[in-house]
Every structure is written in C-alpha cells, then in structure tokens.
C-alpha cells in the first residue's frame, strides 16, 4: 500500500482529529466561562482552572486530538491534514449554536461554508508528496502506513 492511499483507518484518524478538536475546544469554552477571567500575569488561576471538570475534560480531548494529529501528519502532508481536519470549525459552529447557545451571524455561516467547500477541493488531491530517500527530513526514519 502506498503512503498516499486513503484507507478507512486514515479517514477514522482524520475524524478523531476533527471531533476531539471540536469537542475539546467547546469543553474548554464552557469551563473557562465558569471559571471567569484569568490573566497570564496570574498563572495560579490558570492552574486552578485545570482543576475544573470541564476544562480538564477539554484538555484530555485536546491531548487525544494532538496524538491523532501527529498520527495523520506521519502519513500525509500538512497541506492535506490541516484543511481536511478544519471541518472541526463546522463542528464548533454547531456545538456553539446548539450547546452554548451562541449567536452566529450569516457572515460566519458563509465563512464556514467556504471552509467546507475548500476542504472538498483539498481532499480531492493527493494526501502525500512522494520524496526521494535523500530528503533530509525523512532520512533515517521508518515510514509505515496506518
């Protein structure tokens, strides 16, 4: 199997990246609204925020996001992974609208629509740019598919 082929497992990894990003960010927003304003000048308040269940759950989901994001970057180009996982913006918009009850303007919905259309264009191309064995960034690494 070539590195550029998209398998069900790879689509699942991209789905995990998208969902954990959207839900992790949403949980952080809920938690920080409950904590209230904090400042970088008071790192203790930021550490205390980690003790709240919403923030802690958001951080855990974002750790899963980070691990799955690294996995995706191991077999696909950044210019493929980042746009493909930007569907999280759509998820965040819906979570914000229906869970957080935020107002979303027509301009924002249009922007989200443009992002979705862009994702469609990006995912139609190859996921990986083949490199020769002398490429410094890949020399000495083991390249295995998911």
Encode pLDDT of 24-82 as tens digits: 999 999 999 999 999 889 889 989 999 999 999 999 999 999 999 999 999 988 888 88
Could you tell me if residue 140 is inside a domain?
A: no
pLDDT over 70, % of the chain: 84
Give the torsion through C-alpha atoms of 76, 82, 84, 89, to 10 deg.
160
Would you state the pLDDT for residue 1? 41
Considering its fold, how many domains does the chain have in total?
1
Position 128 in a domain: no
Higher pLDDT, 4 or 21: 21
E strands present in the chain: none
- Domain-embedded: residue 63: yes
60's enclosing H/E stretch is: helix 53-75
Distance, in Å, from the CA atom of 79 to the CA atom of 102, rounded to the nearest integer, reads 31
The pLDDT value recorded for residue 12 is 94
- Asked if the structure places residue 2 within a domain, the reply is no
Predicted local confidence at residue 128, as pLDDT: 77
Residue 13 resides in a domain: yes
Domain that holds residue 41: 8-123
CA quadruple 28, 34, 39, 40: dihedral positive or negative? Answer: negative
Report yes or no on 130 lying in a domain.
no
Residue 138 pLDDT exceeds 70: no
pLDDT tens column, 70-123 = 999 999 888 888 888 888 989 999 999 999 999 999 999 999 989 888 877 877
**Is the separation of the CB atoms in 41 and 82 below 8 Å?**
no
d(CA 83, CA 129): 16
Given a cut of 70, whether residue 17 has pLDDT beyond it is yes
Residue 135 lies in a domain: no
With contact defined as beta carbons under 8 Å apart, do 27 and 57 qualify? yes
Alpha helical stretches, state H, 76-134: 78-85, 88-98, 106-123
Q: Is residue 19 part of a domain?
A: yes
């Amino acid at each position: 199997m070539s590195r550029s082929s998209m398998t069900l497992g790879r689509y699942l990894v991209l789905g995990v990246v998208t969902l954990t990003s959207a839900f992790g960010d949403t949980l952080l927003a809920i938690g920080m609204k409950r904590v209230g304003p904090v400042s970088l000048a008071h790192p203790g308040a930021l550490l205390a925020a980690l003790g709240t269940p919403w923030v802690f759950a958001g951080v855990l989901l974002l750790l899963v996001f980070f691990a799955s994001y690294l996995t995706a970057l191991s077999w696909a180009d950044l210019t493929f992974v980042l746009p493909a996982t930007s569907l999280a913006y759509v998820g965040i918009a819906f979570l914000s609208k229906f869970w957080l009850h935020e107002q979303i303007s027509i301009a924002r919905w249009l922007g989200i629509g443009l992002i979705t259309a862009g994702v469609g264009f990006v995912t139609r191309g190859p996921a990986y740019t083949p490199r020769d064995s002398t490429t410094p960034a890949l020399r000495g690494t083991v390249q295995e598919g998911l």
